[in-house]
Structure 1
Amino acid sequence: PGYGLRAARALYDPLVYRRIRAALGGRVKYVICGGSPLGRRLASFYAGAGIGVFEGYGLTETTAAATVTPPLRPRLGTVGQPLPGTGVHIADDGEVLLRGGQVFGGYWDRERQAPVDVTRDGGWLATGDLGALDDDGYLTITGRKTDVIITSGGKNVAPAPLEDWLRAHPLVGQCLVVGDNRPYITALLTLEPDGLGHWRQMTKKQDVPLRDLVDDEDLRAALQRAVDEANRLVSRAESIRAFKVLPVEFTEENGYLTPSLKLRRAAIVRDFGEEIAGLYGR
């Protein structure tokens, strides 16, 4: 790093990074992450704070982790390399297949009183996740096979990269990318309460009701910049052309998130069908 970057970090460490380390106990050097995508940008933030992140990937059916970041060889944005004894293969359609001694024997069939084998030829378990392997064997998860959007023009779009990038923005709580059987991609956004509170103070709009704020020109301009940044990750055909800000949050209590905080896509599309239709009726 050059002098400017070293100087910036010297200033940033006591202001931000030291507080992060203190919140994690003060002496933490490593953390383990799994269950949902961490994202390259957030992993970079923790690395800058001096905290190494060991990111892993696995399923209940694989008895926990199948891959993990190897010590001293992190590759941000990936979930690491296969653990010893584990095989990882990418199918022709991009689905991640796993094999190894820790893969379960099948789901229990109560009527037959025996397990039902669900593995493919050669003992490969289809995970339902989409991914890619690089030349060094690091696995990157790009989305869920069932979440792939197919536009009316026949373009296949994985929504996860766009959604993960936008969720990392301070103003965005949740993001649902839409476009199945539609001419282009759009998105529904909810607002992050803490980030919105800070934005209200900075723009002197503390007294504006939320139902009016979702159409505020300044707020939409800030969110449009975030959408433009996310669109840089994908091609023009895969980019978000329009978005709608909702005056509600997606939570487990209102039925829009699972207990593991994943989006219940069908429920959101059903209940906000009018808002989605409006994105295509302009």
Structure 2
Amino acid sequence: MNRPGASKVGTVGTAFPGTAMRIADDGEIQLKGGHVFRGYRNQPGLTAEVFDHGWFRTGDLGTIDDEGYLKIVGRKKEIIVTAGGKNVAPAGLEDRLRTNVLVSQCVVVGDQRPFIGVLITLDEEGLGHWLAVQGKSSISVEQAATDADVLDELYRAVAEANAPVSRAESIRKLVVLPGDFSEDNGFLTPSLKVKRKVVLEAFAEQIDELYTDTR
């Protein structure tokens, strides 16, 4: 929480009095303080898993700047490790990519692969608006998935999403999926979060295609 008079855009603020926080060697945010629970009832094994010598393992990845402001990067369990051993947090890339009017949902992939790719679903309403602005004739989402101008715009959005990261962490290729994710088709949770594991399993063939031709 950023407090009045002590806020910094892009961070979640500094620690409240009585709270200690640190970043572990693997980038995980760890906390200590009177407000942190002491453990799971009658489950010492599970308690031991979530504490590191008294520090609570949050499962979140982040950084603390020189002024003590905490920035959350993503979830530890969602970290992608490329074939080259590079750790990539997908959340930042996905958040930036979703700001494009054409993009509804996206899932960054690349675990144990030679580079980072992304699966994208198109926003039907956003597509209609973008086509009108571009002076292009109306086309379906299915047609847009292979439209050269649409793909050019998506790769431009990818370039913007890549701007803050290194080449090893950047998205190299994309594939547009048919349809969109929803709670009804099982790809979104009731709170509209993408079920990453379900998506990866359902579109394994499309993911393989991303890496079939690596030119």
TM-score w.r.t. length of structure 1 = 0.70
Q: In the alignment, is residue 170 of structure 1 matched against residue 95 of structure 2?
A: no
Give deviations 1:31-69, integer Å, cap 9, x for gaps.
xxxxxxxxxxxxxxxxxxxxxxxxxxxxxxxxxxxxx10
Equivalent residue, structure 2, for 1:77: 10
Q: Matches of 1:213 and 1:281 in 2, distance apart?
A: 22
Counterpart position of 1:100: 33
Mapped to 2, the partners of 1:235 and 1:212 lie a distance apart of 33
Q: Does the CA-based 8 Å contact 1:108-1:116 persist in structure 2?
A: no
SS of 2:51 mapped into structure 1: coil
CA distance in 2, matches of 1:244, 1:179: 13
RMSD: 1.9
Give SS of 2:41's match: strand
The alignment covers a number of residue pairs equal to: 211
Distance (Å, rounded) in 2 between the aligned partners of 1:262 and 1:107 = 27
Match of 1:205 among 137, 140, 143: 137
Deviation at 1:138, TM superposition (A): 0.4
**Is residue 162–residue 230 contact of structure 1 (8 Å, CA) maintained in 2?**
yes
Superposed counterparts of 1:108-119, under 5 Å: 108-109=41-42, 117-118=47-48, 119=50
User: How far apart are 1:171 and its partner, in Å?
Assistant: 1.4
3-state SS in 1 of match to 2:153: helix
Larger RCO (alpha carbons 8 Å, 6+ apart): 2
Match runs of 1:115-154 below 5 Å: 117-118=47-48, 119-154=50-85
Query: 1:134, 1:272 → 2: CA distance?
Result: 38
Q: Secondary structure at the match of 1:117?
A: helix
The percent identity for this pair of structures is: 52
Supply the distance in 2 between the matched residues of 1:91 and 1:204 (Cα, whole angstroms).
51
Q: 2:122·2:141 contact (CA, 8 Å) conserved in 1?
A: no
The answer on whether the counterparts of 1:108 and 1:115 sit within 8 Å (CA) in structure 2 is: no
Cα drift, residue 158 of structure 1: 1.2
Q: Unpaired runs of 5+ in structure 1? A: 1-67
Structure 2 CA distance for partners of 1:236 and 1:117, relative to 1, 3 Å:
closer
Q: Which residue of 2 aligns with 1:46?
A: none
Match of 2:159 among 208, 223, 228: 228
* TM superposition shift of 1:116: 6.2
Query: Aligned partner of 1:262: which letter?
Result: K
**Pair 1:91–1:222, CA change in 2 (3 A):** same
1:214 aligns with 2:145: yes
Please tell me the residue identity of whatever aligns with 1:161: G
The verdict on how the C-alpha distance between 1:116 and 1:275 changes in structure 2, with shifts beyond 3 A counting, is closer
Larger radius of gyration, structure 1 or 2? 1
